[in-house]
Structures are given as structure tokens and as C-alpha cells.
Amino acid sequence: MASLSVPPVLTPPRDDAVALHKAFKGFGCDSTTVTNILAHRDSAQRALILHEYKAMYHQDLYHRLATELSGNHKNAMLLWVLDPAGRDATILNQALNGDITDLRAATEVICSRTPSQLQIMKQTYRARFGCYLEHDITERTYGDHQKILLAYLGVPRNEGPEVDPSAVTDDARELYRAGEKRVGTDERAFIRIFTESSRAHLVSIANAYQHMYARSLEKTLKSETTGNFQFGLLTILRCADTPAKYFAKVLHKAMKGLGTSNAALIRVAVTRTEVDMKYIKAEYHNKYKGSLAEAIHSETSGNYRTFLLSLVGRDR
């Protein structure tokens, strides 16, 4: 369930574009007005505002925001104004080709999305950056990590709730034989099952594995695999079961200890606000006995804090 708060009576996109243009004029930028408008418009409404702004002022609003804002506030806003596929494509391009390669971020985005989302994202990546996502993954990754990312991007999977009990039992047994029952690990079996299974099927496999071998599939992954390959498998499994719980953990780790991983905080906040942020907030509270909004408030400041809390929603 989304956390985005939209006014009951919307301002016409053209009026929003005019207000944003006024916020950019003069000395400095009226960041409060920018946030008040863009943080309270859904994806379709933001697209209309971008269209109206370009039609009226012959300038791309995205690039104007890049010149008017700064720091983490700018980074978050520039992702937010994109459509979901464009946002994911941009995160992936930055993670694979930015100044600092972030394979965990790239793996998280790919392994947490549905097949239909991935197909649109691949098309957007090609159109936006002039190359195939698979090419950049091949250039930046290797081994089993590369194999699972490419397979997860390329293999079609059912998105429905249908499950074949006999196939579930067979796959659970195959994973056991490929891991715990033998010396070494048959990574090919894990790649095949994790990239070909629907989310419903994979959850059923995990339940069957626990019942058949008195051990969780997640523990098996942790003992049989390592590194980014393990991270990809765990992301697929956890997002098949409860995506909100997975992202609550990502947010907690981003704000835990000294310093804050603003890249992870921004990534989750802007990509999940219109999807399941209310569920993420509930999972965060249940797991960590605290408020996500309060954690964000304590770890951020200024316009950046105001913007993130506008997306996530303050506690009542």
C-alpha cells in the first residue's frame, strides 16, 4: 500500500509548472514549494507537469531541478520525478557505471522486481542510455553472480498464484541434493530454480524444504553460497515471501550505526513510496520496535529530511 499523500483536489499540471518556475526564479530556490508540489503528485501527475513545463518554458524540468537543488535532496528528487521504469534504469546505470560501482544496489533492483517490471525496465535502459542492460552487467560482474542476474532478467516467469505441488517437492529435493547433501554446491541448480520459479512457487519450495529437511532454505543459502551470488539468491527469496520485510531491513541497515547510507535510503524511499511503503513502515515497526519516520528524522536534515518524510509519511 502506497504512502504517497495527494491533495483531494489537484492543481492543474500547468499551474504546478508555473509555480515551480516561480520557485526557481530570483536568488536561490524555494525548495519548500518544490517539495510541496512534487512530493504530493503521483507518477502520472508528475509526468504531466514535466510535459507542461517543457511546453511552456522550452526547458527540461529534470535538468532545471539538477541545477537548482543540491546534495541528497537533489539526488532524491531527480529519481522521484522519473517514472518507475526510468527510475530503476537510472539507479542501475549509476550502480554499474557511476564513479563507484555498487553491485549490491544493482542486484537489489533486479532481484526484487517482477518479470513485467524487468521487461519495461530493460527497454527503458536501452532507450535512455543507448546500450543493453545485459551488456553492462556482463562488463561489471562475473561468475555465478553474473549468471543469476542475466538469467533473472531473461527468463520469463509466471506472476500468478498457481503452484504445482509435485513440482514444488521435486524442486525442494533438487535444491537439497545440489547443496546440503553433497560436497560442494551445484550452483546451476540454484540458478535454474530461482530464476525460473514464480514467487508463489518459490515460497512453496521454501515451505516444503523446511518440512522435508527441518532446515530453512535461507540458512541453506547462507551456508552453501557466498558473496553477491548469495545476496542475489537471498533477495529473490525474501522478496518472493514478504517484500515489505525485505525493504524494512534495507532501511534499518542504511540508518544503523555511525553514518547513514543515503544512497540506500533514497533508493528504497523513492522506489517504494507508490508501491508498498505503508507495509514497509509496519514491518519496520514490528521488527525494530520503532518508527521509520522517526528514524529518518533523526538521520537526515533540512530539505532532504522534509522531502523524504513527505514521501514516507509522518506518524500521526
- Whole-angstrom distance, CA of residue 39 vs CA of residue 33: 10
Q: Determine how many CB atoms are found less than 10 A away from the CB of residue 219.
A: 12
Domain map of the chain by residue range? 13-81, 84-141, 165-241, 243-312
- Measuring CA to CA, which residue among 159, 137, 161, 229 is closest to residue 190? 229
Contact predicate 155/122, CB 8 Å: no
- Whole-angstrom distance, CA of residue 225 vs CA of residue 222: 6
pLDDT of residue 92: 98
pLDDT of residue 182: 87
Give pLDDT tens digits for 159-217.
999 999 999 999 999 999 999 998 889 999 999 999 999 999 999 999 999 999 999 99
- Whole-angstrom distance, CA of residue 49 vs CA of residue 34: 12
**Does 75 have pLDDT greater than 90?**
yes
Query: What's the pTM?
Result: 0.95
pLDDT interval class at 282 (50, 70, 90): very high
- Cell numbers 551470488: residue: 229
pLDDT of residue 259: 80
* DSSP code per residue over 172-239: HHHHHHHTTTSSS--HHHHHHHHHHS-HHHHHHHHHHHHHHHSS-HHHHHHHH--HHHHHHHHHHHHH
Mean pLDDT for the chain overall: 96
Contact predicate 80/304, CB 8 Å: no
- Measuring CA to CA, which residue among 235, 255, 252, 233 is closest to residue 243? 235
Q: Which residue type is seen at 251?
A: L
Q: What is the CATH number of domain 243-312?
A: 1.10.220.10
**Does 46 have pLDDT greater than 60?**
yes
pLDDT of residue 83: 96
CATH 1.10.220.10 fits 84-141, yes or no: yes
- Whole-angstrom distance, CA of residue 87 vs CA of residue 78: 9
Q: Which CATH superfamily is domain 165-241 in?
A: Annexin (1.10.220.10)
Q: What is the CATH number of domain 13-81?
A: 1.10.220.10
Give pLDDT tens digits for 129-170.
999 999 999 999 999 999 999 999 999 999 999 999 999 999
**Does 279 have pLDDT greater than 60?**
yes
SS3 281: helix
**Does 316 have pLDDT greater than 60?**
no
pLDDT interval class at 86 (50, 70, 90): very high
Q: Read off the C-alpha cell for 26.
A: 530570483
- Measuring CA to CA, which residue among 108, 102, 137 is closest to residue 122? 137
Residues with Cβ within 8 Å of 312's Cβ and at least 6 positions away in sequence, in order, are 3, 269, 273, 277, 281, 292, 293, 296
The predicted model gives 7-23 an average pLDDT of: 96
Contact predicate 283/241, CB 8 Å: no
Contact predicate 241/194, CB 8 Å: no
Contact predicate 132/126, CB 8 Å: yes
| Fold equal for 84-141 and 243-312 | yes
The predicted model gives 248-266 an average pLDDT of: 94
The predicted model gives 87-95 an average pLDDT of: 98
- Whole-angstrom distance, CA of residue 132 vs CA of residue 72: 28
pLDDT of residue 288: 96
Alpha helices in the chain (DSSP H): 13-24, 31-38, 43-57, 61-68, 71-80, 84-97, 103-111, 115-129, 133-140, 143-154, 165-178, 187-196, 199-213, 217-224, 227-241, 243-255, 262-272, 277-288, 292-299, 302-312
**Length of the chain in residues, anyone?**
316
